[in-house]
Amino acid sequence: MSALETQAQPKLLLKNRFDKSEWAGAFGDLGTLIPFVVGYITVMKMDPLGVLFTFGVLLIIAGFYYKTPIPIQPMKAIGGAAIAQSTAISSGMVWGAGLFTGLFWLIVGATGALNVISKIASKPVIRGIVLGLGLSFIMEGTRMMKTDFDVAVIALIMTFLLLTSRRIPAMFALIIFGVAAALFKNPGLVHELAGIEFSFRFPQFAVGEITWTDMIKGTLILGIPQIPLTLGNAVIAVTAENNRLFPEHPVTVKKMAISQGILNLISPIFGGIPVCHGAGGMAGHVRFGAQTGGATIILGSLLILVALCFSESVLLIFKIFPVSVLGVILFFAGLELAVSARDVGQEKSDYYTLLITAGFSIWNMGVGFLAGLVMQECLKRKIFKV
């Protein structure tokens, strides 16, 4: 049985919790959430109400269904391309890419096409994808930390000291320190935050604004290039991480694919962005205390509250989270992912497969997966000898 085929029935019936550990873990994925959301809102000019409301709803659905901290994250290839090419990419194309992604993964998952992966992918390949993702998070986290290195160093040391504390969750200390640092570095922020206004709005349907041109362009420019990253990170890696951390409540690659299909068919309805179940997000939630779906339900509820009542002030609210502190959060999520590779095996060949997969995965998850499979088979058939 492969690393992805954890078919054992759950021994325990998990229940969502909402204690302080879950509250702390709820914020463990802000390092990826905030930068992409800010990019969509400021550069793409997308309505923050639709983006945050949909995100919140999907987080709550995931929390109640899975009951483990399986996250909802922005699709990074789509988000990065849309934000970088904002003059050529419309909101309709982003929504069109989401619909294509939803249909693609729903079909791939429902037809059982991913079952082959479950049979051929060895532990070194799976762990290699997770290691590569972890290293990419560490690299991106350190880049973000360099924006204010003094603040990042203090936050980093403080997090290490409180990482296993039951009395003071590290995330609470990080948030308080981050807000204090933001206000200290920019005293004028107090007056800016005073401009936060209550403005209740209902979300509006956005599906009717999508044209066939948006669908075609969104599919070709945004949707198709996202497939390899989603396969590696949001199908294979998140399945492996969930089953490693919560063996009593396993999932399958088929379930992850179908889930992402359904979520991305829902997301564009109210103007939401393409989303996925990223392994890095799960690592972030767990690293800072989450053990159940209560963490994603908490985060989702807060996002819905902000969306419905403070959508006009979202960018002001996000200013209280310094980029350097978000980098620390991302850094620890990467560490949590990377250390999972420690159980890859004892053979030298296992480590070769692991490192080749990880190295290519830093560049592209799909390429990393294929490179790992090739190396695995070449070593198995003694074409390569190490």
Q: Contact at 8 Å (CB) between 133 and 233?
A: yes
| Domain ranges, residue 277 | 20-196+204-380
The Cα 148–Cα 322 span in angstroms is 9
Q: What is the mean pLDDT of the chain?
A: 90
Residue 1 lies in a domain: no
Please indicate whether residue 14 or residue 192 has the higher confidence score (pLDDT).
192
pLDDT value of residue 1: 45
pLDDT value of residue 343: 80
Residue 6 lies in a domain: no
Residue 157 has a CB neighbour count (10 Å cut-off) of: 11
The residues near 342 (Cβ < 8 Å, ≥ 6 apart) are none
Residue 74 lies in a domain: yes
Whether 7 shows a pLDDT value over 70: the answer reads: no
- Write the pLDDT tens digit of every residue in 157-182: 999 999 888 888 999 999 999 999 99
- Write the pLDDT tens digit of every residue in 306-328: 999 999 899 889 989 999 999 99
Residue 19 has a CB neighbour count (10 Å cut-off) of: 11
How many whole angstroms from its chain centre is CA 369?
A: 19
Residue 156 lies in a domain: yes
Residue 385 lies in a domain: no
Residue 2 lies in a domain: no
The conformation of residue 148, written as its DSSP 8-state character, comes to G
Counted domains in the chain: 1
Q: Say whether pTM exceeds 0.85.
A: yes
pLDDT value of residue 10: 45
Percent of the chain having pLDDT more than 70? 97
Residue 234 lies in a domain: yes
**Cα dihedral 160, 165, 171, 173 in deg (nearest 10):** -90
**Phi, psi for residue 192 in degrees, rounded to 5:** -65, -45
Bridge partner residues of 74 (DSSP): 275
Whether 28 shows a pLDDT value over 60: the answer reads: yes
CA angle 254, 9, 279 (to 5 degrees): 45
- Write the pLDDT tens digit of every residue in 335-353: 998 988 888 877 889 999 9
- Write the pLDDT tens digit of every residue in 95-143: 999 999 999 999 999 998 887 777 788 889 888 998 998 999 999 999 9
Please indicate whether residue 365 or residue 288 has the higher confidence score (pLDDT).
288
Residue 12 lies in a domain: no
